[in-house]
């Protein structure tokens, strides 16, 4: 069973992302920074006080088209204005999407906000303190004869950096609660995503308390598209390291400013 997680960067590198998604072979594909703009295709532009980025109008639908034999689950963290090529404003939902191969029985799903609550931004997106949801799926791996619970998160972004804060501590506790309620006894559990944390964060101590082991540690998880020197963002944790057949931080191809994390169990 192959699980892949990557921050899709709103599809900013869609020409590279699309062929990779179609060929990556993920049984469970966890994407962060997924866009959905109703009844709009093509490209939009996202602006906040710090950044201006091209984004796909509906990356959710784009990937659904690329993976027609997967179930798609989308959770919006928040929504706000984007503009198309003619400068017309549209309301875009922004969040997480998990794609589960139809060969895996999907036996449970759960979503919970781990920071804030769903918010509509009428005039402009803020630079930080945006709400964050986490998404859990529970599947039965027929080949291994066991249940696997996969939880993904796009962690809180703080313009002041990736150090521990009370908000991140509370986020970790809520994430641990979601994992505990989503899985059942005996499940192999995987937690992944762009956590926006440093390797020594107390978040990993909190998750270790529910039996999760981080595989990334202090490895570089950013691509050449990311210019800042601090290169920690994506993480992947498992409840049973002995179940891991392969773990990789993919340097090629570059499909985002984040490297994809690949786990085979």
Phi and psi (nearest 5°) for 225?
A: -75, -10
Which residues, at least 6 apart from 47, have a Cβ–Cβ distance to it below 8 Å? 53, 82, 83, 124, 125
- Which three-class secondary structure state does DSSP give residue 243? helix
Q: Is the pLDDT of residue 93 over 90?
A: yes
Q: Is the pLDDT of residue 2 over 90?
A: yes
> Dmax of the chain from CA atoms?
53
| Whether the Cβ atoms of residue 258 and residue 6 lie closer than 8 Å to each other | yes
Which of 58, 80, 78 lies closest to 125, judged by CA? 80
Strands (E), the chain: 2-7, 28-36, 43-47, 52-56, 70-83, 89-101, 106-115, 119-120, 132-141, 146-153, 188-194, 213-214, 234-238, 246-250, 260-264
Spacing of C-alpha 41 from chain mean position: 22
- Which range is least confidently modeled, 125-129, 148-152, 169-173, 261-265? 125-129
Determine the pLDDT at residue 30.
99
Q: Is the pLDDT of residue 95 over 90?
A: yes
Q: pTM of the prediction? A: 0.97
Q: Which two tokens stand for residue 71?
A: 């179930």
Total residues belonging to the chain: 265
Q: Is the pLDDT of residue 227 over 90?
A: no
Mean pLDDT of 75-80: 98
pLDDT tens digits, 130-179: 999 999 999 999 999 999 999 999 999 998 999 999 999 999 999 999 99
| Whether the Cβ atoms of residue 76 and residue 116 lie closer than 8 Å to each other | no
Percent with pLDDT over 70 in the chain: 100
Strands 234-238, 213-214: pairing kind? antiparallel
Mean pLDDT of 68-91: 97
């Amino acid at each position: 069973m192959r699980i892949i997680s990557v921050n899709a960067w709103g599809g900013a590198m869609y020409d590279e992302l699309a062929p990779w998604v179609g060929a990556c072979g993920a049984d469970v594909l966890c994407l962060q920074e997924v866009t959905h703009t109703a009844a709009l295709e093509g490209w939009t532009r996202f602006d906040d006080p710090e950044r201006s980025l091209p984004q796909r109008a509906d990356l959710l639908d784009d990937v659904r088209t690329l993976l027609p034999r997967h179930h798609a689950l989308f959770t919006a963290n928040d929504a706000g204005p984007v503009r198309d090529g003619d400068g017309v404003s549209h309301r875009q939902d922004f969040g997480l999407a998990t794609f589960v191969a139809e060969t895996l029985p999907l036996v449970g799903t759960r979503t919970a906000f781990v920071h804030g609550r769903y918010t509509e931004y009428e005039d402009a997106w803020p630079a930080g303190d945006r709400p964050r949801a986490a998404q859990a799926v529970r599947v039965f791996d027929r080949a291994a004869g066991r249940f696997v619970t996969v939880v993904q998160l796009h962690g809180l972004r703080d313009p002041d950096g990736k150090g521990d804060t009370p908000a991140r501590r509370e986020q970790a506790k809520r994430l641990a609660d979601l994992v505990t309620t989503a899985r059942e006894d005996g499940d192999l559990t995987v937690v992944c995503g762009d956590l926006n944390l440093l390797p020594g964060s107390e978040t990993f101590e909190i998750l270790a308390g529910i039996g999760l082991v981080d595989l990334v540690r202090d490895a570089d998880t950013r691509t050449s598209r990311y210019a800042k020197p601090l290169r920690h963002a994506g993480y992947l944790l498992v409840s049973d390291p002995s179940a891991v057949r392969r773990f990789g931080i993919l340097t090629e191809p570059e499909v985002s400013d984040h490297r994809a994390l690949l786990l085979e169990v």
